[in-house]
Amino acid sequence: MSTVLTHVFVSAAATRTVMGAGASRRTYLLAAICSVAADLDVVGLRLGIPYEHMLGHRGLSHSVAFAVVLSLAVLLVGGRGVRISSRRWWGLWALLAAIALSHGLLDAVTNGGLGVAAWAPFSNARHFLPYRPLVVSPIGLAHMFSPWGATVILSELLWVWAPLTACLLVAEGVRAALAHDEPSDNDA
């Protein structure tokens, strides 16, 4: 899996890129929930659910179906002030769904584990993407403060944080350039 920090960073970068400076703290919170909720499946390991079970780690909670349902539920519960089925509501749902989907995608580019059950509950087959540059993160905080944890963080900085920061800077630059080119009321 990728670290929780990286999942949250992805949600924040996506939210800022899509919504700009106008995104509310509530939107960032909803996005963060969508980005990390899939890893609640690690509780199952403590309850004796085997890793490879559909309800195990990287199983159903990492699937496309779960991402769609999760993002819908998060928006329905937390999206106060957004009229259901409005254009804004659909746009926010699409953003939250993409962020929820990013969790499984990031885990599918790690170099460890059993893969992601992307098509659960219809199939428990586990998949990785062909290119897997991310070092798999250990489960549990104790291992994060080890050489393995340091390697994970460096891998995520290189393969996730740096490219997303570059994309965010480009989006901000384009947004600023477009705002600068808009005619003002004084130009008429």
Provide, rounded to the nearest whole percent, the portion of the chain with pLDDT above 90. Answer: 79
Provide, rounded to the nearest whole percent, the portion of the chain with pLDDT above 70. Answer: 93
User: Is the pLDDT assigned to residue 1 strictly greater than 60?
Assistant: no
Query: The domain containing residue 52 runs over which residues?
Result: 4-187
User: DSSP label at 5?
Assistant: H
**pLDDT given for residue 25 in this prediction:** 96
Mean pLDDT of 51-67: 96
To 5 degrees, how large is the angle CA 54–CA 57–CA 58? 80
* Contacts of the segment 20-25: beta carbons below 8 A, 24+ positions apart: 20/175
Model pLDDT for residues 123-168, shown as the tens digit of each residue: 999 999 999 999 998 776 666 777 888 899 999 999 999 999 999 9
**pLDDT given for residue 138 in this prediction:** 78
Closest alpha carbon to 62 in 42, 92, 87:
42
**pLDDT given for residue 165 in this prediction:** 96
Mean pLDDT of 2-16: 93
User: DSSP label at 49?
Assistant: -
DSSP string, 102-134: HHHHHHTTBSSSS-B-TTTTT----B--S---B
Number of domains in the chain: 1
Model pLDDT for residues 105-121, shown as the tens digit of each residue: 999 999 999 999 999 99
Rg (C-alpha) for the chain, rounded Å, is 18
Mean pLDDT of 92-112: 96
